[in-house]
Amino acid sequence: MPVGVGLGLMALLLSSFAPVHAEEASTEFNLQVTPSPLVMTVLPGVKSEQELKIYNNGNGTEKLKIETRAFTYNSDKGRVNLENTKPAAVDPWISFSQPQFSIQAGQMLAEKISINVPKDAGFSYSFAVVVSRQSAPKSTKGQRAIDGSLAVFTLVNVDKPGATSKLQVVQFTSSKHLYEYLPATFNVRFKNTGNIIVQPYGNMFVQRGNSAKTPLATLAVNETKGYILPGTERTVSASWNDGFATYQPIKQPDGSTKQHLNVDWSKLSHFRIGRYTTRLVAVYSDGKHDIPIEGTVTFWVIPWRAILLVIALVTGLWFLGRWRNKRRTEKAVKRALAAQAAAAQHTKPKSDEEKA
């Protein structure tokens, strides 16, 4: 039954030359391996060799073994499943200089991996190289024993006639059509329609409109330098958060994350409001040339709650001013009427009785 390795190991698969650490590493088991992933281009019928450096960062000597394992990748879930079986197609072609070995604490060992691809091989292969303990450690009183292992994902392209590198953008979107505040997140879903492994790269340019000459921001495409296997899809993301007011994730005591609005007065000139365009310019190599891929997405940034508050304040001040003017007018009218009444009383003709 396959063991779910999840997005953590997917990061190892798709990050170029990043060190690999054992999951749930402790002082009892702490290995580091480079390069990871292991990517190579080989010729059919020609033996190729790759060196894998294994470092023991633990505090004791480790007795280890190295072997191949099959894995599968689910494009829909972006999940890697490491199998408990060997990769039947490639395992007979692979050999290790030291299938079993020991490394003292603080030391490094260089493992030679040889692959002898036959002339009738296909165009690409992927599998995992697993480094693990030769035997399960014994648990001590009060402590759980860790059966340590780590996986180095290996990607092989076979350089032969008919090898085709082809990549397309299935979808280029922003996570929302309308943002109240930044960050704005952009997602590019690539599909490898060729028969060899592909690594896209490039930039996204955020600008006011399609005709803007200077972008407001330049974001990297596939910043982790990930690879896409033939017949699979992968989504890469990038975020634009350069603004006067932005949402920042704040970790809560219970472990959850809450978005907190952060205002940076030093970036008042970066107040974002209105319609924006993000232009995708990515490329991939067909072995001879860089093939461009382009796309465009538009989105809005409208701080609607702040706008509603301003409208409410302006409306409230307008009604207050109108009410005060009305009160002043009413008081002025009353004073005028009172003055007229007093004047009329003063100029009224005297009666005959008053004259006598």
- Residue tagged 């008053």 (tokens): 354
Strand partners, 200: none
> What is the per-residue pLDDT for 157?
95
| Mean pLDDT by groups of 10 residues along the chain of 356 residues | 36 38 54 93 94 93 94 84 92 96 94 95 95 79 66 94 94 96 97 95 92 91 93 95 93 87 94 96 90 95 94 94 91 86 73 58
DSSP for 174-242 reads ES-SEESSB-EEEEEEEEE-SSS-B--EEEEEEESSTT-SS-SEEEEESTT---B-TT-EEEEEEEE--
Whole-structure pTM value: 0.77
> What is the per-residue pLDDT for 138?
67
The 8-class DSSP code of residue 181 comes to S
CB 86 within 8 A of CB 80: no
> What is the per-residue pLDDT for 142?
54
* Integer Cα distance of 313 and 322 in angstroms: 14
* Integer Cα distance of 192 and 186 in angstroms: 20
* Integer Cα distance of 90 and 100 in angstroms: 20
> What is the per-residue pLDDT for 25?
39
> What is the per-residue pLDDT for 287?
78
> What is the per-residue pLDDT for 355?
54
